[in-house]
Amino acid sequence: MQSKSSKDSAESPTDITEYYKHLSLFWTDIIHLMSSKPQALTSIGPMRAFAANSKKIAVELIEINENLLGFNQCITEYYKQLSDTWGISQKKVNQKVPEIPHDVEQIESVKRIWIDIFDNDFTELFDSKKFGANYGNLVSKELELTKHWNNIANVILQSVNLPSKEEVDEVYKEIHSLKKRVSKLELELKKEKRKNAK
Amino acid sequence: MQSNSNFDPKIIEEILKFSKNVIEAPKFVSAPDEISLEVTPHKVVQQIDKTRLLYYKSINKTKHKTPLLISYALINRYHILDIHPEKSWVRNLLEQGFEVYMLDWGTPTSMDKYLDFDDYVNGYLESSVEYIKNQSSTEQISLQGYCTGATIATAYAALHPENVKNYIATAPVIDGWKDTTVISNLAKHMDADKMVETIGNMPPEFMYYCFSVLKPFEQGFEKYVKFFKNIDDKKYVDNFLRVEKWLGDTPPIPGELFKQWIKDIYQKNLLIQNKMYVGDELIDLRKINMPIFTQVAVGDHLVSPECSMPLHYAVGSEDKTLKIYPTGHVGMIASSFSQKKILPEMGQWLAQRS
């Protein structure tokens, strides 16, 4: 693979990411191949396992960057929506309260106006499709970042011979299924006993 | 805004008084952690996995024959139904002569991520009903569901109508598309599959976020200003801290249950269309044929009346009552209003059928 930077100066962030991903994988693989033979003679411990899997970490870290880009876009939009609404609400308050309050009663009524206007406007925002859609995307991007983080943690867990999240989940699933079957049988048995006792 | 030189010195006085209240608050007020939310004595009569069946004995000499089982919501804990001696939903029912059982769903851990609707409806709820039937030597029980607990109870009543003598649905989540709340807007845009696949259970932090977008300035600012202003009012402070502690204690929701909840109720709206499955069984609301009492609140900003009321029209019952109250989601179950108006009406309805 050749670097495209000389040919095309207006590359997309995805192209750049792909290039660095390739670069990183190339050197990780080469170094791993070059060093694996002497290592193999001496090591079966966690560092050996970690070295063998370190390529996965490099891939995850590079892909995190891609997701960070999307995440940043969503979070910027999120704060923009909040600050725009704040600005609009504050303008409305300023129009409704032209003078600075100068006694306790006035402060109370200004506070009431402020809270009502802000609550109404922000509820309208949170109720809107544009907020819901962006918030959904924001959470989704955050989950993608978490997924990469989980994958990195899995590499570390495997290097010390501990089960990965997927392996633990499989066990949980099996336990859940067994418990469900036992509970249903127990319940049926209780019902039968009750029927027979009558 | 324009400035005005007629400045009232009382403002300074108010600020100083408020500051003094803030500084001295810890001297007079318990920390939320020091407050126990267990109000009415009860026994844990059955425990399956993390769920517990609580039993509250009637404190009235006249007892109604049919016991009542309350299916509490999946959000926050059951304590709100027994939050304060003077505002306790449970205590009021005991005083009216009912034997009350309540399901505490417990606190699911990562291990419980595969628990689904079927486990809650045909597992935990069904086991509780069987236990109560055995203990009280009755063939049927009265069932009440609150909020998301009412959705579980509704599914149960549709699948096992032979076990339910009377059904009370309090702010049930039924018609997701008609729900006009902020929560439903967020739920409709959520990738529930990705959330469950990545983090397992729905984390409490997500629920706290949902709470924080509900009237953020009234609830996030004014509420606390009022608290410090009224720091001398023991009754107000006690009630405030109890509700705050309850609000801050929400367990995770098991992943599979959460996924089905979001997709089937808020996104595809299957329940009201009689197309939702629990395990292998189809929920047909027309099979709910027992007397039903639906309670909704006009000011409910968590489950809007439009979301709850369709249940009244969808069931097959001939004996059905719909009551709309001028209060909110929590006000309906833990307020002076609920003690004076909602509970006496519900108790009367239930007594006539128990």
Per-residue pLDDT tens for A66-118? 889 899 999 999 999 999 999 999 999 999 887 787 788 888 899 999 999 99
What number is the average pLDDT over the span B302-331? 95
What number is the average pLDDT over the span B280-300? 96
CA distance to partner chain B, nearest, from residue A36 (Å): 33
Q: Where are the alpha helices (DSSP H) in chain B?
A: 10-28, 89-95, 117-118, 126-136, 148-159, 182-188, 192-199, 204-212, 216-217, 223-229, 234-247, 255-260, 305-308, 310-314, 336-337, 343-353
Specify whether A101 is located in the same domain as A191: no
CB atoms within 10 A of CB B38: 9
Q: Give yes or no for residue B67 having a pLDDT over 60.
A: yes
Q: How many residues does the structure list for chain A?
A: 198
Specify whether A189 is located in the same domain as A173: yes
CA distance to partner chain B, nearest, from residue A53 (Å): 21
Specify whether A134 is located in the same domain as A89: yes
Q: Which of A115, A126, A169 sits opposite B222 (nearest CB)?
A: A115
pLDDT of residue A2: 45
Is A145 among the domain residues?
yes
Instruction: Considering only the C-alpha atoms of chain B, give the largest distance between any 2 of them, rounded to a whole number of Å.
Output: 77
Residue B191: its chain A contacts at CB < 8 A?
136, 139-140, 143
Q: Where are the alpha helices (DSSP H) in B72-114?
A: 89-95
Q: Give yes or no for residue A198 having a pLDDT over 80.
A: no
Q: Which of B8, B49, B221 sits opposite A104 (nearest CB)?
A: B8
Judged by a CB distance cut-off of 8 A, whether residue B280 touches chain A is no
CA distance to partner chain A, nearest, from residue B42 (Å): 24
Q: Give yes or no for residue A24 having a pLDDT over 90.
A: no
Q: Give yes or no for residue A4 having a pLDDT over 50.
A: no
Judged by a CB distance cut-off of 8 A, whether residue B8 touches chain A is yes
Is A116 among the domain residues?
yes
What number is the average pLDDT over the span B160-174? 97
Q: Which of A9-13, B90-94, B243-247 has the lowest mean pLDDT?
A: A9-13
pTM of the entire predicted model? 0.86
Angle (CA) B82-B67-B57 rounded to 5° is 50
In sign, the C-alpha dihedral spanning B129, B135, B137, B142 is: negative
pLDDT over 90, % of chain A? 45
Contacts of B244 (CB under 8 A, 6+ apart): B32
What number is the average pLDDT over the span A7-14? 61
Judged by a CB distance cut-off of 8 A, whether residue B1 touches chain A is yes
Q: Which of A12-21, B68-77, B340-349 has the lowest mean pLDDT?
A: A12-21
Contacts of B265 (CB under 8 A, 6+ apart): B151, B173, B174, B176, B271, B276
- β-pairing, B164-170 with B68-71? unpaired
CA B308 – CA A103 distance, rounded (Å): 45
What number is the average pLDDT over the span B96-123? 95
Provide the number of CB pairs (under 8 Å) joining chain A to chain B: 112
CB atoms within 10 A of CB B105: 27
Specify whether A115 is located in the same domain as A178: no
pLDDT of residue A105: 85
Report which of B224, B66, B197 is spatially closest to residue B141, judged by C-alpha positions: B66
What number is the average pLDDT over the span B71-81? 94
Let me know if B147 is a catalytic residue.
yes
Contacts of B312 (CB under 8 A, 6+ apart): B292, B294, B320, B322
Q: Which residues pair with B100 in a beta bridge?
A: B56, B68
Q: How confident is the model at residue B214 (pLDDT cuts 50, 70, 90)?
A: confident
Specify whether A183 is located in the same domain as A131: no
Specify whether A103 is located in the same domain as A195: no
For A168, nearest residue in chain B (alpha carbons): B111
Angle (CA) B197-B202-B204 rounded to 5° is 150
Tokens at residue A92, please? 């409305």
CB contact under 8 A, B8 and A103: yes
Q: Which of B2, B127, B221 sits opposite A100 (nearest CB)?
A: B2
CB contact under 8 A, A126 and B185: yes
pLDDT in tens, A148-165: 999 999 888 888 888 988
Range of the domain at A40: 13-162
CA B35 – CA B130 distance, rounded (Å): 34
Q: Give yes or no for residue A36 having a pLDDT over 70.
A: no
CB atoms within 10 A of CB B45: 14
Is A184 among the domain residues?
yes
Residue A97: its chain B contacts at CB < 8 A?
1
Q: Give yes or no for residue A3 having a pLDDT over 50.
A: no
CB-side exposure of A41: number of CA atoms within 13 Å? 3
Let me know if B319 is a catalytic residue.
no
* C-alpha gyration radius of chain A: 29
pLDDT of residue A33: 75
Q: Which of A123, A129, A190 sits opposite B130 (nearest CB)?
A: A190
What number is the average pLDDT over the span B279-303? 95
Is A2 among the domain residues?
no
Is A191 among the domain residues?
yes
Q: How confident is the model at residue A196 (pLDDT cuts 50, 70, 90)?
A: confident
Let me know if B179 is a catalytic residue.
no
Is A18 among the domain residues?
yes
Provide the domain count of chain A: 2
For A125, nearest residue in chain B (alpha carbons): B182
Tokens at residue A52, please? 């063998």
Specify whether A128 is located in the same domain as A139: yes
Tokens at residue A197, please? 């006792």
Roughly what angle, to the nearest 10 degrees, separates helices A46-96 and A129-159?
Answer: 160
- β-pairing, B320-325 with B292-297? parallel
Residue of A74, A91, A119, A124 to mutate when probing chain B, most B C-beta within 10 A: A119
Query: If you average pLDDT over every residue of chain A, what do you get?
Result: 84
CB contact under 8 A, B217 and A119: yes
Judged by a CB distance cut-off of 8 A, whether residue A75 touches chain B is no
Burial class of A119 by CB neighbour count within 10 A (0 to 12, 13 to 18, 19+):
buried
CB contact under 8 A, B11 and A126: no
Out of B147, B175, B264, B312, the active site residue is B147
Specify whether A27 is located in the same domain as A124: yes
CA A14 – CA A26 distance, rounded (Å): 18
CB interface of B with A, residues 167-196, below 8 Å:
180, 182, 185-186, 188-191, 194-195
Is A138 among the domain residues?
yes
Specify whether A194 is located in the same domain as A136: no
Specify whether A72 is located in the same domain as A49: yes
Q: Which of A94-108, A143-157, B156-170, B230-244 has the lowest mean pLDDT?
A: A94-108
For B221, nearest residue in chain A (alpha carbons): A115
Is A6 among the domain residues?
no
Q: Give yes or no for residue B47 having a pLDDT over 90.
A: yes
What number is the average pLDDT over the span A5-27? 71
pLDDT of residue A38: 61
Specify whether A52 is located in the same domain as A129: yes
CA B206 – CA B187 distance, rounded (Å): 11
Specify whether A77 is located in the same domain as A155: yes
Whether the CB-CB separation of B200 and B330 falls below 8 Å is answered with no
